[in-house]
A and B are shown apart, each in its own frame.
Chain A
Amino acid sequence: ETGVTQSPTHLIKTRGQQVTLRCSSQSGHNTVSWYQQALGQGPQFIFQYYREEENGRGNFPPRFSGLQFPNYSSELNVNALELDDSALYLCASSCDRGNTEAFFGQGTRLTVV
């Protein structure tokens, strides 16, 4: 059974650029949730994807968008990067829209300069 994997592990982007982060969910999981963890803070819910559709969204602007593919892997896209977008981005996979335990990946550390 493979775990949740995220890529890349680290990334540096310039303000105004766009970025795509990727997540492969654990085998058998159909739900992927994305979280943003700023330095020294707890993770904040961005959105959740269930069977390729957005299934809930936190308090993040529309420049944060995502996709889920038929194999349940997922992408997080952020447009028009701002300095405050610098954070650890965590992906969590689970079954049944999060009604079972969520397993987290190691995260992607994004730095915006």
Chain B
Amino acid sequence: GDSVTQMEGPVTLSEEAFLTINCTYTATGYPSLFWYVQYPGEGLQLLLKATKADDKGSNKGFEATYRKETTSFHLEKGSVQVSDSAVYFCALSDLGGSARQLTFGSGTQLTVLP
């Protein structure tokens, strides 16, 4: 079945540091790939997505490129802010049966220190 593996956290960075969170996936078809963010006490918010190989998703300074050859979708940001502190989830969506469900990784806790 489909699965997503994320780099384990927690990750602690100083403000303005470079961020990379690794994500690899296993899927039988041609999935769409997503990064979601969860702030404390809140639900999930879509951060960015990519629907086909070599697509780059970007939002709020975050970027991720869909790499089919390495089955990866690593999240990057050039300069993190304290407000980026949250849990980040990599996810894929593959058309399994008739329901387009999301399969999530286990999440990476990011803390940015001032």
Q: Interface residues, chain A, CB within 8 Å of chain B?
A: 4, 33, 35, 40-45, 47-48, 50, 55-58, 90, 92, 97-99, 101-107
Which B residues are in CB contact (< 8 Å) with A50? Answer: 98-99
Closest residue of chain B to A56 (Cβ to Cβ) is B99
A42 with B106, Cβ < 8 A, contacts A56-B98, A97-B99, A98-B93 known: yes
Quick check: B103 and A45 within 8 Å, CB to CB? yes
Q: 8 closest Cβ contacts across the A-B interface?
A: A56-B99, A98-B100, A42-B104, A104-B43, A104-B44, A48-B99, A45-B101, A106-B43
A90 with B43, Cβ < 8 A, contacts A42-B104, A42-B105, A98-B93 known: yes
Quick check: B104 and A56 within 8 Å, CB to CB? no
A97 with B98, Cβ < 8 A, contacts A43-B44, A104-B43, A104-B45 known: yes
> What per-residue 1/0 map shows which CB atoms of B29-72 lie under 8 Å from chain A?
00000001000011111100100000000000000000000000
Q: Interface residues, chain B, CB within 8 Å of chain A?
A: 4, 36, 41-46, 49, 89, 91, 93, 96-107
Which A residues are in CB contact (< 8 Å) with B46? Answer: 101-103
A42 with B89, Cβ < 8 A, contacts A48-B99, A55-B99, A97-B98 known: yes
A107 with B101, Cβ < 8 A, contacts A42-B106, A56-B96 known: no
Quick check: A48 and B101 within 8 Å, CB to CB? yes
| Chain A min CB distance to B105 (Å) | 5
Quick check: B42 and A99 within 8 Å, CB to CB? no
Closest residue of chain A to B1 (Cβ to Cβ) is A59
Q: How far is the CA of A47 from the CA of B96 in the complex (A)?
A: 12
Which A residues are in CB contact (< 8 Å) with B98? Answer: 50, 55-56, 97
Which A residues are in CB contact (< 8 Å) with B97? Answer: 56
Q: Out of A41, A56, A103, which one reaches B101, CB within 8 Å?
A: A56
Residue contacts A-B, CB under 8 angstroms, 8 given: A33-B99, A35-B102, A40-B107, A42-B106, A56-B101, A57-B99, A99-B100, A103-B46
List 18 additional A-B contacts (Cβ < 8 Å) besides A40-B107, A45-B103, A104-B44. A42-B4, A42-B89, A43-B89, A50-B98, A55-B98, A56-B97, A56-B99, A57-B99, A58-B101, A92-B44, A97-B98, A97-B99, A97-B100, A98-B100, A98-B102, A102-B102, A103-B46, A106-B41
